[in-house]
Amino acid sequence: MKAAVIESVGRAVVSEVPDPTPGPREVVVEVAACGLCGTDLHILQGEFAPKLPIVPGHEFAGEVVGVGTQVTELSVGDRVAVDPSLYCYECRYCRTGHNNLCERWAAIGVTTAGGAAQFAVAPVANCVKLPEHVRTEDAALIEPLSCAVRGYDVLKSQLGAHVLIYGSGTMGLMMLELAKRTGAASVEVVDVNPARLETARRLGVAGSAANADELDRPQGWDLVVDATGNAAAIQDGLGRVAKAGTFLQFGVADYATRVTIDPYRIYNQEITITGSMAVLHSFERAAELFATGVLDPAVFISDRLPLTDYPRALEQFAAGVGRKIVVVP
């Protein structure tokens, strides 16, 4: 089969690799679409993936074309979205309900072959069947949505809260769409990229700007979400949290990123700084939300490129052009 392969640091190609075969409790999925995200760029830069080469792609959906000998829950022809998380279920974190912090954390498309390929293997436990009205090629959005759901899971109620989101790329926009559902009193978005900010406005925001100074909330925001991973944005956002408010580190920063915090203010104003990592018990709910139309795929997926263009798709993503880019085998 054809697959994208990150061969070594900085080098992605599309090549011919052996077809995958399912284990007893696995299925083979014929990929309909696979999304690209910051994680793929980190893998390309030599972070996250413990060893290269790897077939990337952890955001995908497709049709089951093969089942393992002990699979009874799914059949050939079923359409599924795949939760890429692979937990050990044995370590202390798994045993205390923090599976996403598993000591042996692994994921399809990060540590094992992923969905940027014609076919991918997934445990049956990781597959969620799609309802009839959800298009398979749109369901690649469920995985990033499940990360956004996890983001809200770590927070307390947002009923009546004023929310500020840094970044209006795919993840920032998903946090925006979910914020509206959480009962936020207002949601505002900051992004230095005017094209991306325009999409946030189209989805509906109380305010938007290239710099939070242009937004009128001198007392700060109850919830500030970083969806950029960018040091300048994070530093700015930390200073915008209102008294008793929360800062959520949702964007993926480079390992070397450092910002400064103000311990006196954290103490004196009872500020919470927290993070959320990937997916935890949130994939199923993301699939259910997605089926209710929480995201408009026509807005969220800006580019559908052929799998053979994977290296170019990565470059386009790195350049910050468009929103969710998916490759179609």
Give me the residues that bind Zn ion (CB under 5 A), please. Answer: 37, 39, 88, 91, 94, 102
b/e map 140-160, b = 16+ CB within 10 Å:
bbbbbbbbbbbbbeebeebee
What is the smallest separation between the CB atom of 79 and Zn ion, expressed in angstroms?
20
* Closest distance to Zn ion from the beta carbon of 165 (Å): 18
Report how far residue 240's alpha carbon sits from residue 261's, in angstroms, rounded to the nearest whole number: 12
Cβ-based nearer residue to Zn ion, 37 or 197: 37
What is the closest distance, in whole angstroms, from the C-beta atom of residue 245 to Zn ion in the complex? 27
Residue (208 or 230) nearer to Zn ion, CB: 230
For Zn ion, the closer CB: 221 or 290: 290
Radius of gyration of the chain (CA): 20
Smallest gap from residue 314 Cβ to Zn ion (A): 13
Do residues 26 and 124 touch, judged by C-beta distance below 8 A?
yes
Minimum separation from the CB atom of position 41 to Zn ion (A): 10
Burial class (CB in 10 A: 0-12, 13-18, 19+), 302: middle
Query: How far apart are CB 103 and Zn ion at their closest, in Å?
Result: 5
User: Which residue matches tokens 């559902």?
Assistant: 181
CB 220 within 8 A of CB 241: yes
Kindly tell me which of 169 and 207 has the beta carbon lying closer to Zn ion.
Answer: 169
Q: Calculate ∠ Cα 194-147-157, nearest 5°.
A: 90
Q: Which C-beta is closer to Zn ion: that of 143 or that of 188?
A: 143
Kindly tell me which of 43 and 234 has the beta carbon lying closer to Zn ion: 43
Q: At what angle do helices 170-181 and 142-153 cross, to 10 degrees?
A: 50
Which of 44/212 has CB closer to Zn ion? 44
Helices within 50-141 (DSSP H only): 92-95
- Separation of alpha carbons 58 and 29, rounded Å: 13
Q: How far is the CB of 92 from Zn ion (least distance, A)?
A: 8
CA atoms of 262 and 77, how far apart (whole Å): 55
Task: DSSP letter for 4, please.
Answer: E
